[in-house]
Chain A
């Protein structure tokens, strides 16, 4: 299992290095990264894990002192999901080989995809909650990178930022929830939590709500659904992998797993089930409105996730059984449909429904695949989607009459948008044209096997789950022990007999037929029925508000003339330091007398400082500043610290050189006019700063704890193998500090370097396009208006 998580991450590095020579074929290498995840099917199939057996556990210590470890726990549900990720990941990678253009930057695409795959596998397999959080955040970051892959397009940038901000909000929620849980349950491991203590703890409700925040943002539930449709700016294989079958299901996984902890509370189901159903309704309502096929699928995903959420939110055996079955079905048909839309986009040059018709004639194989997947999504027999929809109805019937009503309406809408989706294949064929009447693709032909095979396999699975329900049930049962529904007696059948669920299905079909029949009126209603508040508007408002606030704060505090800046800083430091001295004056120690030999050094230092004050020339000032530096070096030497002295000397030399280089850009030296009052204030500030620094140094002479230097002196040679204690401290005893420091040095150099380069004429190249960012970030609605 550890390998299943690690190999994709390792392969990401390999692919990044080999992408240039391999080009398009990098994809085959990348697909290998998912091989160990696929091999997890072996323990999954073994009965020992699936039904009530002990889960696989692999633990690698990370920082055991903090309770951090890479603990992977392969129970039935985790393994099932891991294999699912492996299958869809491998298919999406292979699909990309045929889908992406030759000019795509494979060195970015495949590593990002693999990094995502690895973190997703880590997320589902992780038993340690802190590691789970880390993987969770990694999926957010990699998703950001993948959505923004074509970052020269402003829509892609907007979509990436939006997705990242929303899921980062949830990430914070998860971090807090994990912290609360580990405090309440006295363990950082999911399986080691003391459930009774958690449930009795006052932290229970906050942890529950924060977990829900995380799950809802990740799985695009109302009101956080806004990021998923714009995330469709990612390349289509990515959409199929991340935004339909895996990443967006991370929230569902969270709800499923944490439901075992929180499920006892009425609040849990009371929040999830209504919100999930509302999302299901809203998603399918919006999906019906879309003309872009990918946007349609995006909203459909929102809707289906709502359904899954509602089922897992019931937190009973029936709900979990139905949800797990539907999870499998959804992964199969949704990924297949995304692949199909990719094919249509690839072969026809457009995804707009009103430009496409009669594709059946030109793309017969694609049509067959699309038909199977759409039937499954619509919940029609004899496909897998029908069976899990029946189970969904059963579960909702037990939940209450209001719920079942929403479920039926949502399903009818689903059926209606499925009809629109498949509609592009019927009617007379017309070659798609753009607005100016130009043909988008001169020659249209069926997609190659590289594009067709992945969706065909998935559609085949959807058909298998329908025609042979025992296969789907066998898979679903694997998760039984882990999700506590092993005792549930339900089965998957195509024909349940005349049950209330079947009657509801017939009602759904009737409603859907009405919707399709009255399509024009429904469309009219959709265009004219706009809610006054939308999540997008709130998101934009918050973002704009934050930007304005930040600009105001910066305008008020930064960007002043340097003397003003200095006055503020020194005054603040003076006030705080003065308060400290006033509160605790006893920190000072009597000083030991210094040897007379230091007198010349002191004179040198003071002379340098005074000289800087009096000089009227920059060059003189810098050289005199250097004098104080050399004076300090001399002082270090008298105190027998050659390393420090050497460092100080070199720093002074380099600083003077850098100063001289910078001087070429500075305007001439001039003194600013100063009023008498100003002058007094400035002298006061300067004096306070000087006195304050002296006091600080004096105060630091007193040791708060026994000094550590004897330890260093004693152990430098024995433990570090060096006679130069300073160096041994730097590279060994406090090596971690040094590592941090060189990171800072590197970062500063990169930052200053890019700032300097910005000022260079003709060098500030930007990789972005000239198209301005969409002002309202509602790219999908813009497309809507164009139609």
Chain B
């Protein structure tokens, strides 16, 4: 690793350290479970995204599930599982969805016209591809970005007023 990158990572590590007011539940049981649960939920979310075209699922649902998994990770471990600012997912997702709409338009077909087909490979057997999946990926990214940036913003803010005990 170049010294410059090492320095960058060090700065990042300091920035990632829980700040005063961060929500951090130091619970070993939650931590342990969250590790396994996080992986499982993420995998399931990706499965939902993948199969969405043909079975219950899709970008929106998968995005929500991913948000849930990442919030769990964040609360259990006190740092984000992502190295990226979730806000940046929003423009990228929008751009991706828009591009899948624009490409057929520029090719002379109607806006957002989707295309699909079948490929047969030795490993997977018959396999369907659809440009709609790319569009759905855009939806997924926007939902993840929006949900996470909201949740992270709320987690990181220091409450200005202490909560009185609920009656």
Contacts and interface: CB of A to CB of B under 8 A. Distances in A.
B78 interface: no
Contact of A724 (B58, B65, B67, B159): B58
**Most chain A Cβ neighbours within 10 Å, of B60, B159, B165:** B60
Interface string B41-70: 000000010001111111111001101100
Contacts of A619: 166
A652 to B, nearest CB: 10
**Most chain B Cβ neighbours within 10 Å, of A651, A657, A742:** A742
Interface string A698-740: 0000000000000000000000111110111011100110110
Interface in A734-764: 735-736, 738-739, 742-743, 745-746, 748-750, 752-753, 756-757, 759-761
Contacts of A743: 94
A771 interface: no
A618 interface: yes
A668 B101 contact: no
A363 interface: no
A90 B67 CA distance: 49
A736 B53 CA distance: 17
A746 B145 contact: yes
Interface string B128-155: 1010100110110011011101110111
Contacts of B111: 736
A736 B58 contact: no
B167 A727 contact: no
Given A643-B61, A721-B116, A742-B143, A664 B163 contact: yes
Contacts of A786: none
Given A720-B132, A742-B143, A727 B166 contact: no
Contact of A646 (B61, B98, B150): B61
Given A739-B101, A746-B90, A749-B149, A661 B143 contact: no
Interface residues of B, number: 60
A779 B41 CA distance: 60
Contacts of B97: 738-739, 742
A642 B166 contact: no
A40 to B, nearest CB: 24
B160 A759 contact: yes
A663 B163 contact: yes
A735 B101 contact: yes
B52 A657 contact: no
Given A654-B68, A730-B60, A752-B153, A668 B167 contact: yes
A366 B145 CA distance: 55
A617 interface: yes
Nearest to B58: A727
Contacts of B16: none
A753 B87 contact: yes
Contacts of B153: 752-753, 756-757
Contact of B139 (A669, A736, A742): A742
A21 interface: no
Given A665-B160, A739-B98, A618 B166 contact: yes
Interface in A444-472: none
Contacts of B163: 663-668
Contacts of A738: 97, 135, 139
A176 B147 CA distance: 41
Interface string A459-492: 0000000000000000000000000000000000
A650 to B, nearest CB: 4
Nearest to B112: A735
B118 to A, nearest CB: 9
B39 interface: no
A704 B70 CA distance: 44
A64 to B, nearest CB: 11
Contacts of B132: 720-722, 727-728, 731-732, 735
A113 to B, nearest CB: 23
B27 interface: no
Given A723-B54, A726-B58, A750 B114 contact: no
B151 A616 contact: no
A553 interface: no
B164 interface: yes
Contacts of B68: 650, 653-654, 657
Contact of A658 (B48, B55, B150, B164): B150
B64 to A, nearest CB: 4
Chain B interface main SS type: helix
Contact of B61 (A616, A618, A650, A666): A650
A614 interface: no
A732 B23 CA distance: 41
B114 A647 contact: no
A591 interface: no
A750 B87 contact: yes
B52 A651 contact: no
A668 B163 CA distance: 6
A657 B130 contact: no
A723 B55 contact: yes
Interface in A3-27: none
B151 A736 contact: no
Contacts of A653: 68
Given A617-B166, A661-B151, A731-B114, A745 B143 contact: yes
Contacts of A752: 150, 153
A670 interface: yes
A662 interface: yes
Contacts of B112: 732, 735-736, 739
Interface string B89-113: 0110110011001000000000110
A646 B54 contact: no
Given A721-B116, A753-B150, A650 B58 contact: no
B76 interface: no
Contacts of A721: 53, 114-117, 128, 130, 132
A618 B164 CA distance: 12
Contacts of B48: 646
Interface in A293-342: none
B60 A647 contact: yes
Contacts of A643: 56-58, 61
Interface string A612-646: 00001111000000000000000000000011001
A752 B146 CA distance: 10
A761 B136 CA distance: 38
Contact of B159 (A665, A669, A727): A665
A750 B159 CA distance: 20
Contacts of B81: none
Interface string A25-68: 00000000000000000000000000000000000000000000
23 contacts: A616-B167, A642-B56, A647-B60, A647-B64, A650-B64, A657-B71, A661-B23, A665-B160, A720-B132, A721-B114, A724-B54, A724-B55, A724-B56, A727-B54, A730-B60, A732-B132, A735-B135, A736-B111, A742-B94, A750-B149, A753-B87, A759-B157, A760-B158
Given A670-B167, A757-B157, 4 more contacts: A646-B48, A742-B97, A746-B91, A760-B157
Interface of B: 23, 48, 52-61, 64-65, 67-68, 71, 87, 90-91, 93-94, 97-98, 101, 111-112, 114-117, 128, 130, 132, 135-136, 138-139, 142-143, 145-147, 149-151, 153-161, 163-167
Q: Which 5 A-B pairs have the closest CB atoms?
A: A721-B116, A749-B146, A668-B164, A722-B53, A650-B64
